């Protein structure tokens, strides 16, 4: 009987070890899936950031062009006003 008790105890310990191993593997699989999701999120965010930076550069360029045109328009108006003022004298 003592041998059967030892065998039953060993089988029980083996079952517990297998269960623990399966639990660890399940947790690892979950962690790997989470890492993959995070990698996909990172790629999506990086693409979004790149698009936002490109858009910001376009807006900055458009802003410079608008500023340049406003300065040109103000200079033209100033010139017309100066000529108009000089011709009335």
Q: Cα separation of 76 and 41, whole Å?
A: 52
The pTM (predicted TM-score) of the whole model is 0.56
Chain segment 5-60, per-residue pLDDT in tens: 899 999 999 999 999 999 999 888 988 999 999 999 999 999 999 999 999 999 99
| Tally of CB atoms within 10 A around 9 | 10
d(CA 56, CA 64): 12
What's residue 88's pLDDT? Answer: 66
The Cα–Cα gap between 19 and 14 comes to 9
60, 66, 69, 71 alpha-carbon torsion, rounded to 10°: -80
pLDDT band for position 89 (cuts 50, 70, 90): low
Is the model's pLDDT at 86 over the cut of 80? no
């Amino acid at each position: 009987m003592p041998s059967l008790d030892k065998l039953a105890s060993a089988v029980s310990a083996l079952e517990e070890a297998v269960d623990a191993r399966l639990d660890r593997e399940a947790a690892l699989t979950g962690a790997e899936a989470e890492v993959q999701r995070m990698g996909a999120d990172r790629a999506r965010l990086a693409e979004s950031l790149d698009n936002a930076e490109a858009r910001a550069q376009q807006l900055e360029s458009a802003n410079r062009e608008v500023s340049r045109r406003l300065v040109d328009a103000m200079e033209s108006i100033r010139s017309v006003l100066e000529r108009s003022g000089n011709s009335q004298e």
